[in-house]
Structure formats: C-alpha cells, structure tokens
Structure 1
Amino acid sequence: MLKMSSQLDTIISAYKTLAKIPSIAGGKLNNAANRVNAKWSVRNLDKGKTTKYVTTYRLDEALNVTDQCEFGSDVSNELLSATSPRETFKAIIREEKTGKDTKKQYLEVWNKHTLAQCIDLTALDMHGDVYADSEFGSLDWNQDETAVVYVAEKKPPKSEPYIKRKPEEKPKADGSGETAIKKGEEYLYRQDWGEQLVGKHLSVIVVFKLATETLTVLDGLPESWTPGQVRFLPDGSGVVGVAWETEPRRLGLIFCTNRPSYIFSLTLDGTMKKLSGEGLAVRSPRYSPAGDLVWLQRKAGGPHHACHQLVILKKDSTEVKTITDIVDTEVKTTGGDSFFGLYNQALPAKCFSTDGRRLVLATPQKNEVRAYVVDIDSGKITDISNKSSPCSTSVLDVRCDTVLATCSSLTTPGQLYIARLPAQGSEADIKWVLVGSNMAAPADVATSTSEYLQLEHQDSQDSIKSFTALYLAPKAEGKKLPLIVWPHGGPHGNFVNAFSMEAALFSMLGFATTRVNYRGSIGQGEACVRSLLAHVGDYDVQDCYLALTTLLQQKELCNKNIFLYGGSYGGLITAHLAGLYPHQFKAMVMRNPLIDLATKGHYADNSDGCAVEAGYDFSEKGPVSDEHLLTMRRCSPIAHVHKVRAPTALMLGSGDKRVPYFQGLEYARRLKANGVTTRIYMYEDNHSLSAPASEMDNLINGAHWFMEHLQL
C-alpha cells in the first residue's frame, strides 16, 4: 500500500507541475505589426476548468519586445472576438453562466474608450446559441466597420402536444411574423453534427448593424444546407462561407474533412451563388487584399482526412484554378526540400502578404508542422519554418508582411516567434525573433532525448513501405528504460514534434515513448494516406511492431517492460498488438478504443469511415451486405481478444459519439471472461476525454496502471 501511495504521489506531483504550463491558443498582430496580442490557455485545477487569458507585447522596428503587460487579462468567457479593419471597434461574443444549467450570450462592441453596445442575444430569442467551434464558427467585420456577421443555431419551430388545455387563440395582427405553433412535433428527431458538435442541427447566418442595433437572419440558402465559416464580401454587399449538405443525413464533422460541401456567396438581400464545384469537400475561404478568393478542397468521401488542393477564384472570374495540387508522394520546394502536400484543417484568418501575391500557411509534414509561403501566381512553395532547433512551426497571423507563429517541441512548450516576410523570391532568408514564452518545461522533460525515426519494411512488395515515428526518452542513468508503444488515432492523423502534456508526463515518470506515424498517416503524401484502405489491422500493426523491434535493437530498453497506449483508432492498433503478440506487452491502456468496425458502423457519427477503411465504398442504400460486415469484423481486434494477456485499463466517455462506449465495454467483458486483469473508467465526457476532470483522472490512472505493472 505504501508503494502504491508513493507512486500516485509521484504521478500527481508531475501532473500538477505540467498543468501549470500554458499553451498558446491564438495570437494576433495589430495593423502596424508593432503589437502582439497572444491568447494562452492553462489548466485551472482548483476551478476544474481551463482558464484563457491574453498578454500583450509591444515591438520595436527590429521586432524586439520593448514592453510586456505585467499581468494577463482573463478572457475565459469570450467565445469569439474580432477587431474591425481600422481597429476602431472590437466585437466580442460573450457567454455567462446564470445558473447551474442556464447561461446567457451577449454581443458586445467596444471602442477604444468604453463598451459602446451590448446586445442580449438570449433575450432577443432570434436564434439559438452562437457557434464558436472550429467547423462552423466565425465572427467578421465588413470593411466600413458598420456591421458584423456570425453563425448561430437556427431557432426551432415551436411545438406542443395534440391535446393541451389553453386559452382561446386569437388571430395575430401585430405583423410579428412568428410562425404558427406545430402540434405533435415536440418529439420529432433532430439529428445533430455528432462528436463535439452535439446540439448543433441547422445553422443560420446573422448580421448585426451597429447604427440601428438590429439583427438580421439572412435568407436565400437551400433548407438542406448548414452554413458556417462566413465572412463579408470585400464590398460588404454579402457574405461568403461554407455550407454542408444535411441530406440524406449528417455525418460527423470533427476531424472529417471529407463531407460534401460548397463555397457559396450570399448577398444581404438573399441572392445565392455556388462558387465551388460538385462532389467536393471544401473549407476555409479567405479573401486576398486584391479581392481574390482562395480555399482548401478535396474530393468528397473517402478517408476522413487527406491531402487538399489550395485553389483560387480570381476577382471578376468564374473559373476556379489550382495553386497547390494534391501531392501523391512528394514534390520539391524552392529550396530543394521534400514537400508532401497540404493537410492543414484551416488557413490562418489573415494569411496574405500586403500585395496579395503570396499566402502564408502551416501544415503537417512527417514528424513536424512546417510553415510555408506559397506564390499565388507560380504555385512555388518556400519553407519558412523556424530552423533554430527541431520543432513545429504553426502560423497564427500575417499582417503588414509580418508573420506571427508559435513554435514548440516535445521538450519545449509553445513559444511565440515573429518575423518579417522577405521580398518575393527571398523568403527562405526569413529571420525569426522570439517574442515570449510563459514557462519552460521541467528539467526532466527539457533534458529528455527526442529523435525522429525513418523506418522501412525491407523485402516488402507493398506500394508504400516506409513510415516515421517519434522517440522520446528521459535520461537513463545507466538503466534500461520501459517503453510505451503509442500509435495515434484517426487513422488519418499524425504525431508531430510539438509539446504534449501526455508525452511529458510519461517522460517525467521514467518511461520512453515511441509515437508511431504508421502508413495511413497524413503529412507523407496522398498515396501514404490511401495505402491503409483495405489494410487496417495489418499495415498499421506491422509498422508499430517494426518500430518496437527496431528500438529494442538500437536503444537501452527493458524488453520485459513494454506497454501499449492508444486512443480511438490508436486503441484498435494496440488491441491488435496485444492479441497478436500476447507475451510481448506488460500492460495496456486504451481510451475510447475502436474494437469492432462491424458494430461501430451502425451507431457512430462517422459510420462511413468503417466501410472506407475496410476497403469499400460507403452506402446505406439497398440490402445490408454480409460480406462487408464480415470484412469489417475480420480486420477488427475483437477477433483476437481471446489471446490477450496484458492487464488492460479502459477509459471510456459516456457521451462519445465517435466510438460509442459499448465498444470498450464489450472488449472488457471478454477480457474478464478470459481471466485478464481489467479495469474500466467511465467519464461523463465525449470522445476526446479532454474535460479538465476527465483528463486529469484518466492520465493519472493510466500512468499509475503502467507503474503498477512495471517488472522491477
């Protein structure tokens, strides 16, 4: 008991230390690019929530910090904020709790001196909650600073039972336009957009005019469209945005860039145009200073995430042209480096050079996020990443030919950097200047070894044979380290060399980790992404096992203390490994693992992924195919559950719509029936288990599970 208490004390102490390290949640430059507003996020353990705050830095001509505000300003209740083009106003969507389960939302407009306007959006009852998520959310000013636009939940029609005693109805003559109450529809099923978008069914575009303090819900879009990511047209006559189809049904959007959608324009008086083509999945429209519109697009359907094109619709043109195409394997940048295509979920809100001829973005590339300048006319790509040390460089803002970015690595928390964009053709000469960092990593993490692994299957006939991995290990001091094999979820995601609380926690506790970017991961070419289709439970498992055997040969690791750790699709891979190599692994921790594609497909918000990954087109038309169900079952780890011997802890979310928790429960029942030591944790949370209380508990208990099963 004393040993267990000591282990827990060590884990809790490490977690508390890491929880104090803030992460960069965003950053903006002012128009003159001599002031930086940085938004930070930090875990507030006593409040049981995340605190967000803003710090301000003033810069001189050389971009050196001349003044930093002494204290941060808490902005935790700000959902969205946007500064007007001439920096006359700032608009804020603010949410305040009014009771245990009640809240109010406000639209505030501030000038430089005071709060100019405050609109109680909840009291007006024109729409539901304002959307502030990464898929739909937006808040944008028109150029003359007279109006803002945002997206909110469409107000549902009122309904009542067929039989209800009430006062006699009188005809309305007030011209309110309120719709008639519908009888018998209060229990009508309304599908939402799934994981982390629960309660979002249909959205509307809302314009607020400052002079009259009036809100207008724009009309003109098809009823089956859900709009989002809106912003004003350059002349303010309307908006441009993305609209997703809701028929025949909604499929989950979070981490899924493959949903059928359109770029559209909509005038304030209701005239709509489709700007993108058919059969596409589109996102992130941005206007250049020249009035050209760019966005990201790929074919709809297929893997949930994949390589994108960067396309442009020139001002006064109707032809969409490609700037950067989908990259099958690799192409070369202007400096001769390998470039594997665009996999970013969005473009920076401000991403253009002053003249509009260049665009700045960041995208995953193998083991890093790298920053690039794209020449819009020639399509040439130049790497402008921070190369002072191996790290990931993510672009936050571009103003006045100045780039603001965040850089971090597995051993260094996020730091703000700024740079002047060199003249066209000389972008590779960019010089990054450190703006600020709020806290260093603990010494145990900062001194850890971090390496990139490039691995390849020898004598393989597969079309794609190579993949990558990250290795992080604390100072060994002559001891052989335990190793955690850790595949990412997705499956079409990736691990990058950026600060991770989980990886840092394991390093502080004396574990080495290998985070595997198996075939199917993004950032290595479109061919790599699609190579996993019809090979799930095969290529990915082979890759993780090759990473393990390679590290056992090359590093000072204890082969009696090998552990498995994975969430979602990463859980599928760990479960496969535990079943196929039952005597190799000492223990296993899984978070909301995907255990059986055949049953997940019936209930998950992204059921199409089960079909696509198993190797066939998704369709719900016609009869159910026994062959397809058997194919999904055979590539699922439930097929090997009877062989598993590793003690297993499962962390499950009762509100998970991506991998319903019964997947983990079924796996646990079968493990217990076969005599495997098993423990289940159930959280009132969604797929990510990222709510502060859930995160704290599952990380501490997961680490403790490994430490309990260490063979000394």
Structure 2
Amino acid sequence: MSKEFENVIRLYKNFSKVPSIVGAHLSRDTSRVTVKWTVRSTDRGKNTRFVSSYILNDSLKVIADCGFGTDISNELLSAVSPNETYRAVIREERNQKDLKKQYLEVWSKNHLAHCIDLNALDLHGDVYADSEFGCLNWSQDESAIVYVAEKKLAKAEPYIVRKPAETPKSDSKETPRKGEEYIYRQDWGEQLVGKHASVIVVCKIESESFTVLDGLPEDWCPGQVRFTLDGKSVIGIAWSTEPRRLGLIFCTNRPGHVFTLSLEDDKALSRLSPEGMSVRAARLSPRGAPVWLQRVARGPHHAGHQLVTGNIAEAPLTVIVDLVQTVTRTDDGRDFHGIYSQSLPARCFSKDGKRIVFSTPQKNEIRSYVVDIESGGMVDVSIRRAAGSTSVLDVHDDVILAAHSSLTSPSQLYVARLPARGSEAEVEWMPVTSQPEVPAGLARSEVTYLQLEHADCADPVKSFSAIYLSPSVQGGSKLPLLVWPHGGPHSNFTNSYSFEAAFFNDLGMATLLVNYRGSTGSGEASVASLISNVGNYDVRDCHLALETVLEKDARLSGTVFLKGGSYGGLVVAHLAGRFPDLFRATVMRNPLIDLATKGHYADNLDGCAVEAGFPFTEEGPPSEEQLLAMRRCSPLVHAHKVKAPTALMLGSADKRVPHYQGLEYARRLKANGVATRVYLYDDNHSLSSPLVEMDNLINAALWFLKHLDQ
C-alpha cells in the first residue's frame, strides 16, 4: 500500500470521527438540553445516532454534562409529551432473518409503560420517518399520539386460484380483489421509494387503541401532522397525487394543501391554504393560529417561500414575510434575500405566540431571524462570534437552541434567551457543547466570500457569489484547485461544516464552491434568471470565478480539478467540454448529462422542461422543439471535446438522474480516447450510505492525486 493511499485512508478515518448535530430539545423548564448527534461508524458500515444531555442554570450556563452519549440508532422517531410525563418512540429492529419490525414504545420517567408491535396490528404499513411526511406528535392532554404510515394495501389474488374445500370462518371483512396483484403503484421517487399512499394514525395511549383516520380525499397524501391545541382535530400537509406523483424530496413546487381534520364523528375537513400552491411546515402558535411556508406550485424545483398565517375559507391570508426579488433590509439594517428554507423548527414561536424564530440560507451562510407576526418586522439574530452558519433547532419559553458551524469548524450548540420585542438585536448566545476536534490543518484554513459580477454584460442578473476554502501552506508549496459547482440547480453552498470539503481541504486542495446565478438565497430574480439559460449562466459564472481566484491567489499551482454531482455534474461536464485544456481531471457523481433523455425516466422530469424554458406538460403530442432545446443546453453535445480523465460515481437505484446518463457519457468519452473509470453502487442519488460514501470519496481523492502531476 502506497504512502499516498495510506494518507487518504487516515484522513478519511479522522474526519469520520467528527460528529454532527442533527437536533436539540429544551425541557419544559428549559433547565435541560438534549442534543441529537450523528457520526460515521466505518467498522459497522453505518451511521450511529446518539444523544447527550446538559443541565443549565437560570443564566443558561452549563452546570453539568450528563455523562456519556446514548445510542438511539434504531429509533425512527421520538417525542416527549407536553408535560414531560411520557416519551414516545417508534423503534425499528431486524431479526436474524433480517425481517423488519416496528414498535411503538411509550416510556414514563421510570419504566416502559407500553410496547406495541405495529406489524402485528396489521392496520397499516411502515411508519414514515422521512423529512417530507414523517411526524410523531402528542395531544396536549397527553392521552394520544399521532403519526403517519403507509396505507395498508388491499389483498389481491389471481383470477383463478384453488381454495380449500372447507374455508374456515373468519372475522375478516376484506375480500381479496381478483386480478389486481400487478397494478402499477406510483411512489414518491428518490429516497421515498415504496411510499405510495399515506394515512394518519391516532393511538389512544391508555387503551392502546388505534384509529386510521378517514375523511381526506382519495387523491391526498398526508404528512407532517400534529394535534390542534384542543386535541379535537389534527393539522397537516397533504400533497396531491393526481394526475401523477412527481419526486418530492428537494422539490418544493409540488401542489399541496394545509388542512385540518376533525377527530369527532363528523370528520369535518377544512382546507386552510389556497389552490395552486405548494405548502410546507404547518405550525400552530401558542394562540392556536396556523402558520406555514408556501410558494406557487409550478416552476423551478426550489425557490423562495412566503411565510403566511390565516385560513383561506375565512379571510385572505396574511403574508408575514413575502418573496424578495433581489434584496431588502431587516430592522437591524442587514441584507435579506427571502426565505429559502424547506421547513421551520418544530417549535418556533415566542412564549406569547407573537414572534417566530427560523433560519434560511442567505447567499453564503445560513442566517437566523426573529419575525414579528403582526408587523412583519425582522431582526437577524445569527451567532456572530465567527463567520459561519446558524440554524435554529428549538424554541421554548423564549429560549432558543441553535447550531453554529463553518467550513473550518464542526457543529457546536448554543443557547440564548429571546430578548423583549424590539430588542432582539441584543441577543446573547452562550455555548452548550464544546467544539469537536478536527485536524489542525483544517482549523488553520481560510474561508473567503467572493461577490462576483460580469462586466459589460446585458444579462438582467449579472452578479453571483462563491466561497473559497484554502488550506494553510508551508513555505513555497503550491496548491491545486478544486472547482465545485453545487447541484439542484436551485440550491446553494453555505459556509457550514462539510465532511467532504474538509476531507479534500486536508488533502492539500483549495476548493472553490460556486453559487452560480440560479442559486437560492440571493433573491427570486437570481433563481429565475437561470431558466432558459442552463449551460450558459452557470458555466460562465464558474469560469469567471475560476479566473478570479487563479489571478488573486499566487499560492495556486494552476492545476485545476472539477468535481460535481447531479446538476453540478451537468455544469462540470459543460466546463470539461467547452474548456478542455483548463482541467487536469474530473470526478462526477450521478451527473445530469442530457435533459432530453433524463425526462423520460426521472422522478422529477418536469425540471428538464422548466429549466430549458418551457412549461411542463404531458398533455398532447410530444414537442420536437422542446426536445431539441433540452438537448442543445445539455453537456452531451460537448462530450467529444473532453480531454480530462474522468471518473463517474453512479447509483443503480438513482431515481433523480438515472445512472444510464452517466453510462452513456462514459461510453462517449472512451470512444474519444479519454481515460474513464465508472463506479456503480447499489445506492440512490446521494450516494450517502456509509460504505458507498467512503468508497466514492476515497476513490475520488485517489483519482485526483493520480492525475496531479500528469
């Protein structure tokens, strides 16, 4: 084993030991903080999730660390009851035959009060624990919990089937449906495979009785459900399933509804949100007022959201925070570009219910804000001890928990007391957890924000941003440069901790993270500007950012690598084909190579038409004009010009960009004499399962190092 190879393995192992905060919860009296973490476990081949606890005094200072962490890896969902009498857990276990079992557990302070085998009940399929549908919520009186699960599939049998001569009597009212065994059932696509139709389930704790709620239209798929304050209804989000299900994860443009459903005998259903909207994160204030995020249910997969409150059946909605075209100013004089978060904290209100605390990407950082519901006034309350990103995790009794991190420092938890109305800018943050240790090289690295603009340009939007992460160098050492455009395309890079960026940084590579035009966090005008300009604005922006850092940083050697996944792979493939002599080597993860053919198979095929500048429709005859437009803006048309050795990391279970795209690209590169290697994993679009992530990141590093001096 070479010394170079050993160094890559060593660095990966070192960074895999750094835990990340994924959640935090305040106790009822705000004296105790429970923190949820995740950390890679390379020997086990899986991520370990664990919790740790801390005791705070009245000044919110940590006075006790409650010992070692507790492994919660087999907990899908958990929720503490309002008075902290109980803790509910949805637990998943597998037996020796690898058969999955799910249990509902209810713990009191001193013992396990209830343990119910959900599979044995046979009322529904798997409980949903994903970020789109998943929920576990207590009623205020602590008598019931509500969650969402897969709807039980009706039994089916062949048209001709031999049955016993004497059929035993059965209490089952379900008659198998003949000839329906092979009816195709759509699911919700990437990372939601197997989730077809959801149901709301209410469990009465004392009697251990379960009710699968009816009363919703057949073409509604509910999720994110919680009890109303009186416990007589539930409120949630429902996505429309007709005329078809399109991929939901990372796609905030799917039509849906905010609804309330009565638990009484009348099963009264009310729709709170207007038609034609995509909605998310319905929350109830301490006063019972509903609040949610919404945007128009069409256009790019992700864009800005309004923060609204009200009931469309009673009066027009009140817009608390509106869309922002370019930039506006907060009450404390800071730039604000709109809301681009995909959710709100589960608890996000001040004690009196008059203010909301939330976080959202803003250009190069995640920023946190307090918004006055009545006036719409907004104050930036982000942690400012160092540059980085602040994400609010929990708000209770006017105490806020937030995680702060940067590209050079992993997650650290902070706590603050929410100041009185009008004084929010005076917020004082105090650390709860210590900062995890990282290799010294990363801590010495520098993060620079670049605000770039095309000169002498007639484009309606000319500016964009980038983040430049550069390691510390000794003596006259020179640095190779890794150019890395993000996927999406409507997402963005922020100055927050990234395992991947840290790994390549400690390998001695400077990294240029480009938020090209079309990225979120910079206003709606920027998001919309990329439409019809795919393969144009994004490529020109990356090229300008590359030229800028090569000119400004004399430590760069001139060796430039390309790295990108999904839509970032599209940008990388364009750059490699249009500037073939600029780049030494390329690594792509599930790259989008051809919009025209991706649209036939992907779970989010609407994006191919939208990004090419056409409204998405499957009605009427196929349009040759649209197919040609999608092909012309695809990097496939430049594949024959590529010179840089290229490694492709593909997922055979990818529903977002089918792996056939990467295979076709690899065949064309090989046919033109380009050194090419393909890795095919039994994984989905993100390639984030632990063993797959380890293999593709280490192989990416070795690919770059192999071609460093060639």
The residue identity in structure 2 corresponding to 1:593 is P
- The within-5 A match list for 1:44-443 is 44-168=41-165, 174=171, 176=172, 178-268=173-263, 269=265, 270-313=267-310, 317-437=314-434, 439-443=436-440
8 Å CA contact retained: 1:243, 1:263: yes
Q: Which residue of 2 aligns with 1:575?
A: 573
Matching residue's letter, 2:194:
G
Query: Structure 2: how far apart are the matches of 1:69 and 1:315?
Result: 47
Amino acid at match of 2:203: F
Cα distance in structure 2, aligned partners of 1:684 and 1:137: 25
Question: Which residue in 2 is equivalent to 1:660?
Answer: 658
Helix, strand or coil at the partner of 2:432: strand
Where does residue 678 of structure 1 map in the other structure? 676
> Following TM superposition, by how much is the alpha carbon of 1:451 offset from its aligned partner in structure 2, in angstroms?
0.8
Which residue identity lines up with residue 203 of structure 1 in the other structure? Answer: S
**Deviations 1:61-94 (Å, cap 9, x if unpaired)?**
1111111122000000000001111111111000
> TM-score, normalising length from structure 2?
0.98
Q: 1:642 and 2:640 equivalent?
A: yes
Query: CA offset at residue 341 of structure 1?
Result: 0.3
Is the 8 Å Cα contact of residues 20 and 42 (structure 1) preserved in structure 2? yes
Deviation at 1:439, TM superposition (A): 1.6
Contact 2:272 2:311 in 1 (8 A): no
C-alpha contact (below 8 Å) 1:414/1:437 kept by paired residues: no
Residue among 20, 37, 41 paired with 1:40: 37
Cα offset, 1:382, TM superposition = 0.3
Question: How big is the shift at 1:165?
Answer: 1.4
| Whole-Å separation in 1 of the counterparts to 2:523 and 2:86 | 43
What stretches of structure 1 of length at least 5 have no aligned partner?
none
Task: Give the number of equivalent residue pairs.
Answer: 707
- Root-mean-square deviation (CA, aligned residues, Å) is 1.3
Q: Structure 1 runs of 4+ off > 3 angstroms?
A: 168-174, 314-319, 557-560
Q: Which amino acid aligns with 1:575?
A: A
Task: Identify if the C-alpha distance between structure 1 residues 315 and 293 changes in structure 2 by more than 3 Å, giving closer, same or farther.
Answer: farther
CA positional deviation for 1:579: 0.2
Q: Is the CA contact 2:272–2:313 (under 8 Å) kept in the aligned structure 1?
A: no
In structure 2, the residue corresponding to 1:436 is in which secondary structure? Answer: coil
Q: 1:142 to 1:169 in 2, by over 3 A?
A: farther
The superposition leaves residues 239-269 of structure 1 with CA deviations (integer Å, 9 ceiling, x where unpaired) of: 0110011111100001000000000111113
Displacement after TM superposition at 1:315 (Å): 12
Structure 2 equivalent of residue 491 of structure 1 = 489
Offset of residue 234 of structure 1: 1.1
Q: Which whole-Å CA distance do the structure 2 matches of 1:96 and 1:505 have between them?
A: 33
**Counterpart of 1:108 in 2: which secondary structure?**
strand
Contact 1:560–1:586 (CA under 8 A) maintained in structure 2: no
Match of 1:542 in 2: 540
1:11 match: 8
Query: Please, which of 459, 474, 477 is the counterpart of residue 471 of structure 2?
Result: 474
Q: Deviation digits for residues 134-183 of structure 1, max 9, x if unmatched?
A: 00000001111100000000000111111221214759674x4x321011
Is residue 651–residue 681 contact of structure 1 (8 Å, CA) maintained in 2?
A: yes
Relative to 1, partners in 2 of residues 1:317 and 1:145: Cα closer, same or farther, differing over 3 Å? farther
Corresponding residue SS for 1:609 = helix
Task: Report the equivalent of 2:550.
Answer: 552
Cα deviation per residue 1:404-448 (whole Å; 9 max; x = unaligned)?
Answer: 000000000000000000010000010000000362221011101
CA deviation after TM superposition for structure 1 residue 99, in Å = 3.5
Contact 1:293 1:315 in 2 (8 A): no
- In structure 2, relative to structure 1, the CA distance for the partners of 1:347 and 1:433 (3 Å cut) is same
The CA deviation string for residues 326-349 of structure 1, in whole angstroms up to 9 with x for no partner, is 111111100111100000110000
Are the counterparts in 2 of residues 298 and 308 from structure 1 also a CA contact under 8 Å?
A: yes
- The Cα of 1:101 is off from its aligned counterpart by 3.7
Matched, 1:584 2:576: no
Check whether the contact 2:669–2:676 (CA below 8 A) recurs between aligned residues: yes
Pair 1:561-2:556 in alignment: no
The separation in 1 between residues aligned to 2:427 and 2:131, in whole angstroms, is 30
Q: CA 1:678/1:316 → structure 2, altered by over 3 Å: closer, same or farther?
A: closer
Could you tell which deviates more after superposition, 179-188 or 288-297? 179-188
What fraction of aligned residue pairs are identical, expressed as a percent? 62
Unaligned runs of 5+ in 2: none
Residues 388 and 404, structure 2, Cα contact 8 Å, conserved in 1: yes
**What amino acid maps onto 1:226 in structure 2?**
C
User: Would you say the 8 A contact 1:21–1:438 is kept in 2?
Assistant: no
Checking the alignment, whether the CA contact within 8 Å between 1:565 and 1:588 is kept in structure 2 is: yes
Deviation at 1:690, TM superposition (A): 0.3
Look up the equivalent residue of 1:387 and give its one-letter code.
R
Task: Give 1:81's aligned amino acid.
Answer: S
Q: CA deviation at 1:301?
A: 1.0
Q: Is the 8 A contact 2:402 2:415 kept in 1?
A: yes
**Equivalent AA in structure 2 for residue 307 of structure 1:** G
Match of 2:450 in 1: 453
1:291–1:315: 8 Å Cα contact kept in structure 2?
Answer: no
What is the DSSP-based 3-state SS (H/G/I as helix, E as strand, rest coil) of the residue aligned with 1:655?
A: coil
537-546 or 440-449, larger mean C-alpha shift: 440-449
Q: Structure 2 CA distance, aligned partners of 1:317 and 1:115?
A: 45
Residues in 1 aligned to 2:637 and 2:557: alpha-carbon distance in whole angstroms: 26
Cα distance between partner residues in 2 of 1:96 and 1:218? 26
SS of equivalent to 2:599 = helix
Counterpart residue number, 1:510: 508
Which TM-score applies when normalising by structure 1?
Answer: 0.98
Matched, 1:529 2:524: no
Contact preservation (8 Å) 2:37, 2:49: yes
* Whole-angstrom distance in 1 between the partners of 2:434 and 2:200: 38
Distance 1:165 1:315 in 2: 55
Give the aligned residue type for 2:592: L
* Aligned counterparts of 2:99 and 2:467: Cα–Cα separation in 1: 44
Contact 2:273/2:312 (<8 A) preserved: no
Give CA-to-partner distance per residue, 1:186-232, whole Å, 9 cap, x none: 11111100000000000000000012110100000011110000000
Looking at structure 2, the residues matched to 330 and 202 of structure 1 have their Cα atoms a distance apart, in angstroms, of 40
Are the equivalent residues in 1 in contact too, given 2:147–2:202 (CA < 8 A)?
Answer: yes
> Structure 2 counterpart of 1:411, which letter?
T
Supply the distance in 2 between the matched residues of 1:289 and 1:70 (Cα, whole angstroms).
Answer: 34
Q: What is the deviation of 1:556?
A: 2.2
CA distance in 2, matches of 1:368, 1:673: 42
Amino acid at match of 1:82: A
Taking the aligned partners of 1:330 and 1:59, their CA distance within structure 2 comes to: 39
Measured against aligned partners, the alpha-carbon deviations of 1:639-659 in whole angstroms (never above 9, x if no partner) come to: 000000000000000000000
